[in-house]
Amino acid sequence: MIVTDIEGTTSAISHVHQVLFPYSRARIGDWVRRPEAASVVREVADDPDEAASILVGWIDADVKATPLKTLQGLIWAEGYASGELTAHVYDDVPPVLRRWSADGVPVYVYSSGSELAQRLWFKHTQHGDLLHHFAGHFDTVSAGPKRDVGSYQAIAKSIGAEPSELTFLSDVAAELDAAAEAGWQTIGVSRPEDGSPDTGNHRRITSFAQL
């Protein structure tokens, strides 16, 4: 069974930082006053302007804070619905997703992006709708932070799999280290053209075609 990260693994870090983050940053000031965002904004600060300032700071520092990720999912939903946003997925990914689907290999997503953001992402790619290739989604709400061993233990329990049956694909060494400590198999995905970070001592690929 496969569990994959998104940013830096199936998709370009540059797209997230140059398209998605600016889209949400430009709309935070409006969204902190919207009733549908009230509960998540209150998790950040009582005052909406203070919350907006903190949220913008988190975007600029790429902090994977759960309230920010929840709010970004809501903001991006409008962008996908209006056609302003299309998610990036590397050309080498869809053929492998199709192969895994045909072979009956369950594939899950584990990303710091909210489950809503993940679903929207794979539904609106430049390759069309790829969402049906995934058996389930995990985020920092359902599993926990991506650098914590316990998150990988929680995912294995939720899927009902032995840790050794699970393979995690990620571009971040600390995430791969945590998965390996939980007994998972790990594969580092490095996309040199996208400024991928070092994936440490894990088996390393540069394209899903190598899987």
Ligand X SMILES: CSCCC(=O)C(=O)COP(=O)(O)O
Query: Judged by CB, which is closer to ligand X: 3, or 20?
Result: 20
Query: Judged by CB, which is closer to ligand X: 23, or 106?
Result: 23
Chosen from ligand X, Mg ion, none, partner binding at 121 (C-beta under 5 to 8 Å by type): ligand X
- Strand order, beta sheet including 167-170: 136-138, 107-110, 2-4, 167-170, 185-189, 203-205
Is residue 64 at the binding interface for ligand X, with CB under 6 A as the rule? Answer: yes
Query: Judged by CB, which is closer to ligand X: 9, or 153?
Result: 9
- Tell me which stretch binds ligand X (CB under 6 A): 38-46, 99-107, 113-121, 151-159: 113-121
Is residue 111 at the binding interface for ligand X, with CB under 6 A as the rule? Answer: yes
The site that binds ligand X (CB under 6 A) totals a number of residues, namely 15
Chosen from ligand X, Mg ion, none, partner binding at 111 (C-beta under 5 to 8 Å by type): ligand X
User: Structure tokens of 3?
Assistant: 């569990």
* CA dihedral angle for residue 121, residue 53, residue 196, residue 189, rounded to 10 degrees: -40
User: Structure tokens of 127?
Assistant: 């390759």
Site for Mg ion in 149-208 (CB under 5 A): 171
H helices of the chain, in order, are 13-15, 21-25, 28-31, 38-42, 48-60, 66-82, 93-103, 115-123, 149-159, 173-181
Q: What gap in Å lies between CA 149 and CA 168, rounded to an integer?
A: 13
Q: What gap in Å lies between CA 88 and CA 53, rounded to an integer?
A: 28
Is residue 6 at the binding interface for ligand X, with CB under 6 A as the rule? Answer: yes
Residues lying near ligand X in the complex (CB under 6 A) are found at 5-8, 16, 20, 64, 72, 111-113, 117-118, 121, 146
Residues lying near Mg ion in the complex (CB under 5 A) are found at 5, 7-8, 171
